[in-house]
Amino acid sequence: MDTKKSKPNVAASSLVLVEWLDALAQGEWHEPKREDLQCKSVGFVVYEDDQQIELAGTVTDGMCNNSITIPKQMIVKRKVIKLEASVSKSKRKKATAVDKRSDPQPIPHVAPR
């Protein structure tokens, strides 16, 4: 296993959706039952090797925050999320009109009992 982690790179980080199975530990008496352990996580890939992937919610050059490391054996599905390039103002869709009433409806006040 590669023990040297590379620093996160904003330009090289891809955004992914990972569906994975979690583990569950219970430390009290309980009746056995089937648990739904399926999870979904979205994040920027900041580290990956043969055994694990690390996703982060926030990335900057050399650092990341709010990350989760998921063992690859637990991954059920993985999908890359494509980010759209910025669109110039002339190509943007026009905003839809909002109801412009001259006198807004009052919000009723309910007194506490």
How does residue 100 score in pLDDT terms, banded at 50, 70 and 90?
Answer: low
Q: Is residue 104 part of a domain?
A: no
Q: Is residue 60 part of a domain?
A: yes
How many structural domains compose the chain? 1
Q: Is residue 50 part of a domain?
A: yes
How does residue 74 score in pLDDT terms, banded at 50, 70 and 90?
Answer: very high
Q: Could you tell me whether strands 75-81 and 63-71 are parallel, antiparallel, or unpaired per DSSP bridges?
A: unpaired
Contact 55, 46 (CB under 8 A): yes
Task: Quote the domain boundaries for residue 49.
Answer: 37-83
| pTM, 2 dp | 0.65
Residues in the chain: 113
Q: Is residue 59 part of a domain?
A: yes
Q: Is residue 45 part of a domain?
A: yes
How does residue 1 score in pLDDT terms, banded at 50, 70 and 90?
Answer: very low
Alpha carbon distance 69, 39 (integer Å): 13
Q: Is residue 69 part of a domain?
A: yes
Q: Is residue 102 part of a domain?
A: no
Q: Between 71 and 98, name the one with better pLDDT.
A: 71
Which among 82, 14, 21 is positioned nearest to 54, based on CA atoms? 14
Q: Is residue 58 part of a domain?
A: yes
How does residue 6 score in pLDDT terms, banded at 50, 70 and 90?
Answer: low
